[in-house]
């Protein structure tokens, strides 16, 4: 039966890594919000991985804290709902990955070919995996 949940033993292999990914994303979005709210602290060191983005975000002012805080909350909710095997957790996760895919498509169209193509590939494969019947059946309604 389609709506029947699978036993724990039949949990899809990617279930736990995807849930961890949501929590890690929440942590990173929180980090970005905090470092944009309080710039110039020792926490800014991690921005050395992407200094161009840091400069761009800081130039926009404190208003950029809000989207990162909202993203952190959305990813946290997705992670909690995901591990509770709730449909709403799955739906939030799918919507976040789909939004990321759209952003990667925009990067691709705007000329950032390597970053855009890699992002489209990864997000697309992740969405396909999350939408598989085995994964969907594992999530409770």
As to burial, measured by CB atoms within 10 angstroms (0-12 exposed, 13-18 middle, 19+ buried), residue 10 is: exposed
Query: Who's near 23: CB < 8 A, 6+ residues apart?
Result: 75, 76, 79
- What is the rounded CA–CA span in Å between residue 9 and residue 20? 19
Give the global pTM: 0.86
What pLDDT was estimated at residue 140? 78
Domain-by-domain residue ranges, the chain?
14-83, 85-141
Listed in sequence order, the residues at least 6 apart from 25 whose beta carbon sits closer than 8 Å to its beta carbon are 71, 75, 96
pLDDT in tens, 3-15: 455 555 589 999 9
Q: What is the mean pLDDT of each run of 10 residues along the chain (141 residues)?
A: 55 95 97 91 88 88 92 98 96 97 91 85 96 90 60
Question: Quick count: other Cβ atoms within 10 Å of Cβ 139?
Answer: 22
Residue 8's pLDDT is 55
């Amino acid at each position: 039966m389609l709506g029947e949940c699978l036993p724990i033993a039949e949990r899809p292999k990617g279930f736990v890594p995807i849930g961890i990914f949501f929590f890690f994303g929440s942590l990173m979005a929180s980090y970005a919000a905090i470092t944009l709210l309080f710039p110039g602290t020792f926490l800014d060191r991690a921005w050395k991985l992407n200094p161009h983005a840091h400069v761009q975000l800081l130039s926009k002012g404190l208003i950029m804290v809000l989207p990162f805080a909202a993203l952190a909350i959305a990813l946290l909710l997705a992670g909690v709902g995901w591990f509770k095997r709730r449909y709403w957790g799955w739906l939030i996760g799918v919507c976040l990955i789909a939004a990321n895919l759209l952003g990667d498509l925009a990067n691709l169209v705007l000329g950032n070919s390597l970053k855009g193509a890699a992002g489209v590939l990864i997000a697309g494969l992740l969405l396909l995996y999350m939408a598989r019947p085995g994964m969907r059946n594992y999530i409770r309604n």
